[in-house]
Each structure stands twice: as C-alpha cells, then as structure tokens.
Amino acid sequence: MEPESRYREMPACYNDNETLACIARRSSTRAFDPMRPPTEEQRAAVLHAASRAPSAGAMMLYSIIDIQERTTLERLAVLCDDQPFIAKAPWALVFVVDYAKWMDLFAALELAADEPRGIRPPGRGELAIAAQDAVAAAQTAVIAAEAVGLGSCYIGDVVENAEDVAELLDLPPYTLPLSMLVIGTPAKERPVTPHAVENLVMSERYRRADAATRAAQVAEMDALYRPHATEPGARVQDIYHRKHMSAFMAEMDRSLARWCANWTGEGSLRV
Ligand SMILES: Cc1cc2nc3c(=O)[nH]c(=O)nc-3n(C[C@H](O)[C@H](O)[C@H](O)COP(=O)(O)O)c2cc1C
C-alpha cells in the first residue's frame, strides 16, 4: 500500500467497530432540537468521559465550565464573533486551561514559604501541557456526545474578547479558556463534512510540500468544496480572505496576548 493511501479509507476489517464508526459519522452540529434537550444521563456521560481523557501527570490541568443559563449562552453568542446558534444551544462546555487550582493548593500548603519571590507562576512549559490536557478532554467530550446521540460544535472564538469573557465566567489569574463546545440533540441528519487529507501524514520526517504536492492539495480542496469552488485555487483564496485576513483572527490575536499575560499572572484580567 502507498503510504499516502493508508489512511484514506478505514480498513474494511474494522467496519463493525463501534468506536471507529462513531468517530467516522461525527460532524459539527449547529442546529439543535429545542424539544429534546440533553438528558441528565447524557450530560453525565459526556462529563464523565471528558474526565477520563489523558492528562499530563494526571494533574487535570483544566476545568470544565458547564453552562446552561440562557443569558450566559446569549452573551457568549455575541462575544464569540457573533454566532447566533450558540444562543440557541441547550448546553455549552468551556474547557479552561487551569493552573489556578494548583497555585491555590501550593499556597494553601505554604510550599514557597522560604522563597522570597513566592510561588513561581506558570510559564510557557505549563501552558504547553495544560493546553493539551484541555483539548484532550474537549475532544473526548465530542466523541462521547456523539456516542450518546448528541451533536457538538467547537467554538474557537471563545478566546476572543478576553476582558468580557473573563468577567462573564469569573476567570482568575493562571487560567485561559481555550476551547468551547456547544452540545445538543441534532435538529436534523448531518452529512459528514469532507476533510482534505493530501499532505497530512508524513513519513519519519517533516516534508515540505513541493509543487506537485501543492497542486494535489489545491485540486483536492477544490473538488471537496464544489460547488463553492468555481475556479482552481478557490478554496485557498477563500481561506486566505475569510479566515487568515479576517477581523476575528485579529481580535483572537489581540485577546490571546491578554490571556497569555493572565496565565503567567503578569497581566491579570481580574483580581
Ligand atoms: C479549534 C476549532 C474551532 C472551531 N470553531 C468554530 C466556530 O467558532 N464556529 C463554528 O461554527 N465552527 C467551529 N469549528 C468547527 C469546524 O468548522 C468544523 O470542525 C470543520 O468545518 C470540519 O467539519 P466537521 O466538524 O463537521 O467535520 C471549530 C473547530 C475546531 C476544531
């Protein structure tokens, strides 16, 4: 088998595998059935599964904020780049990269009593592992939601408007809300979203795309995004203008600088 074709299809011997089928059928859900909000059992299953995600040193370097209040969802819809479907979701989970809980424990146990500068605040190293913890938990919640008949959608824009989000969710120093999910019963059948896989898996070393690989990438994306892609390279152009050069990305950039300062305690968003 050619290395690049290994992962294009699921090997037939796993066709009956329920876990892989669940992963394969998932797609982002942005329309929820208002008559069928998640049951307590479904919510508990999703949260329990999230807590079973791998965690660096089993330190659980994240917290999950469980949001069901309509006013909070409505405010988040505005703060997360004006996405009205967030306000209509029955449930949201914010995955907060969290070192505050460890700083509080270190302080309570007076572990830096002999250290004149106090407890060393978290830095980039802690951020790298804690962010992985938070996203691992979020993605485990996504798959668990699918497994119990719910749909979900990530809201990456939760890192925008740091000042307002910190106030809305009472986020202290040494935290950073990295991922948000909206979750509910899908209002309708969802077709699976095509995912481009050219230039995705590299054997043994990073391999920068050559002209032929770039051409294959462009062709694959244009084919997947037809009928929107009307001319060669249309998808790349679309991403450049709608994402790369967007106002929301500029806001994310600004806001993340504030969150990073909050993480290290150098520029707390709240006291
Ligand atoms: C980090 C991340 C952030 C995302 N943020 C948003 C968002 O703010 N709004 C939205 O509608 N979808 C968002 N999505 C969903 C993606 O658009 C979606 O995963 C992608 O189009 C692929 O579709 P699929 O999930 O149906 O396979 C996000 C996904 C990820 C992984």
Kindly report, residue by residue over 16-43, the tens digit of the pLDDT.
999 999 999 999 999 999 999 999 999 9
- The finding on whether 144 has its CB within 6 A of some atom of ligand 1 is no
Q: What is the pLDDT of residue 225?
A: 86
Please return the burial class of 38, using the count of CB atoms within 10 Å of its CB with bins 0-12, 13-18 and 19+: buried
pLDDT in tens, 91-141: 999 999 999 999 999 999 999 999 999 999 999 999 999 999 999 999 999
Amino acid at site 101: K
* Residue range 185-227, pLDDT digits in tens: 999 999 999 999 999 999 999 999 999 999 999 999 999 988 7
Confidence (pLDDT) at 100? 98
Q: What is the pLDDT of residues 144-168, one digit of tens each?
A: 999 999 999 999 999 999 999 999 9
User: How many Å apart are CA 221 and CA 219, to the nearest integer?
Assistant: 6
Task: Give the integer Cα–Cα distance in Å for 58 and 49.
Answer: 15
DSSP annotation of 209: -
pLDDT at 130: 98
pLDDT digits (tens, 9 = 90+) for 71-97: 999 999 999 999 999 999 999 999 999
List the residue whose alpha carbon is closest to atom 15 of ligand 1: 154
Contact, 158 vs 177, CB < 8 A?
yes
pLDDT value of residue 1: 45
HSE of 226, CA atoms in CB hemisphere, 13 A: 8
Check whether 7 has a pLDDT greater than 90: no
Question: For residue 158, which atom of ligand 1 is closest to its CA?
Answer: 8
- For residue 228, the model assigns a pLDDT of 75
Please indicate whether residue 156, judged by its CB atom, sits closer than 6 Å to ligand 1.
Answer: yes
- How many A from CA of 167 to the centre of ligand 1? 25
- The answer to whether the CB of 134 is under 6 A from ligand 1 is no
For the chain, which residues make up each domain, given as ranges? Answer: 29-188
Do residues 134 and 96 lie in contact, with contact meaning Cβ atoms separated by under 8 Å? yes
Question: What pLDDT score was predicted for residue 230?
Answer: 80
Q: Find the 137 Cα to ligand 1 centroid distance in Å.
A: 16
In contact, 149 and 190? CB cutoff 8 Å: no
Q: Assign 252 to helix, strand or coil.
A: helix
Fold of 29-188: NADH Oxidase (3.40.109)
Ligand 1, pocket-test mutation among 79, 140, 154, 248, most atoms within 8 A of CB: 154
